[in-house]
Amino acid sequence: MAAKDESRYGEWAFLLGVVMALIVGLFSSQLEPNTSVVFGVLALLGLVVGLLNITEKDINSFLIASIALLASSSALSTLTELFNRLGVSQAGEFVSGFVGALGVFVAPAVVVLSLKAIYSLATKK
């Protein structure tokens, strides 16, 4: 299989992961019984993205963007609380569900790429 084909799989996995995270955000209360299955699929897609999509020269940029994304999730939890206080709990559920699902999607890719970066640094001469 050519590297170009593998990168297409990674692109599709990324798009599918983001769309699934949006769907989880929109329907988080209805997905409650199946959350572990959905999160398992998101984690698997994150692994695919981490293994196939990010080149070695892009690892640092991806890791920095991931840190910013995961750090912003705690700030967005405050926004969720605000929505709940204003009586717009559906908006709060969307934000909370989307950010949580996005974190589940990105975290496996971060682990894979962090290990790649550490290995690369450890093997430099």
103-125 pLDDT tens trace: 999 999 999 999 999 998 898 76
Q: Which residue has the tokens 């769907």?
A: 23
Query: Which among 52, 76, 50 has a CA at the least distance from the CA of 63?
Result: 50
- Rounded to whole angstroms, the Cα distance separating 99 from 94 reads 8
What's the N-to-C CA distance of the chain in angstroms? 31
Q: Cα(110)–Cα(120) distance, rounded to whole angstroms?
A: 15
- 1 pLDDT exceeds 60? no
Predicted confidence (pLDDT) at residue 94 exceeds the cutoff of 80: yes
* Longest alpha-carbon distance in the chain: 59
Question: pLDDT tens across 2-12, in order?
Answer: 455 666 777 88
pLDDT in tens, 33-66: 778 888 999 999 999 988 888 888 889 999 999 8
